[in-house]
Amino acid sequence: MYDEGRFVTVLCASETKFEVKDELIYYNVDLEKYTCDCGLWQVSGIPCKYAMVVVTTKRLNVHDFVHIYLTKEYYLKTYSHVINPIPNEALWPEIEHIEVLPPMKKKMPRRLKKTRKMSKDEPAKHKRSSRVRCREFGHNVRICKGRGSSSIHKIVNVLISV
């Protein structure tokens, strides 16, 4: 990371705000708010390479810009409490009349229907097919034994309103 910082240009905007140029991209670094435009410093709590360049250019202590929760003092405070061990399961007290039920089944969303839902006052339309040769409804090429056994069969969709 030290080598990457050598090719970065630092421009001072104010006492705590800086503009860092890395090749063709500019990043704004704010030492007062502990922020950088790359977002790495805000997420990790550790200064990114652009913030590190600014801190080292100003000859400041890098440890002052690391989040307080990442210090040794807070690490020791976090693990200073006693974690009591759990006793053996065989020694647990018996509890009667408690029945654990499975979770409720939740109906999952499904794929939408292709056609729209008709309103209650809209008349229903039934679609039936008839074969052109025999002119009977419900017939298709495979099951029709009527007249006209040519190889070209056409099925006409007829809309009949009930």
Whether 8 contacts 53, CB under 8 Å: yes
pLDDT in tens, 39-57: 999 999 999 999 999 999 9
The pair of structure tokens assigned to 13 is 């905007």
Q: How many Å apart are CA 97 and CA 25, to the nearest integer?
A: 67
Q: What is the pLDDT of residue 152?
A: 44
Distances (CA, A) of 130 to 26, 126, 133, 149: 71, 13, 9, 15
pLDDT band at 17 (very low <50, low <70, confident <90, very high): very high
Q: What is the pLDDT of residue 115?
A: 75
Residue 43 is assigned to a structural domain of this protein: yes
Give the count of domains, the chain.
Answer: 2
Whether 108 contacts 118, CB under 8 Å: no
Q: What is the pLDDT of residue 137?
A: 66
- C-alpha count within 13 angstroms, C-beta hemisphere, residue 154: 5
Residue range 86-106: mean pLDDT, rounded: 87
Greater model confidence, 100 or 31: 31
Q: What is the pLDDT of residue 139?
A: 66
Residue 99 is assigned to a structural domain of this protein: no
Domain of residue 22: give its range. Answer: 2-73
pLDDT band at 20 (very low <50, low <70, confident <90, very high): very high
The pair of structure tokens assigned to 29 is 């670094």
Whether 12 contacts 55, CB under 8 Å: no
Q: What is the pLDDT of residue 138?
A: 66
Residue 149 is assigned to a structural domain of this protein: yes
Q: What is the pLDDT of residue 162?
A: 45
pLDDT in tens, 150-159: 444 444 444 4
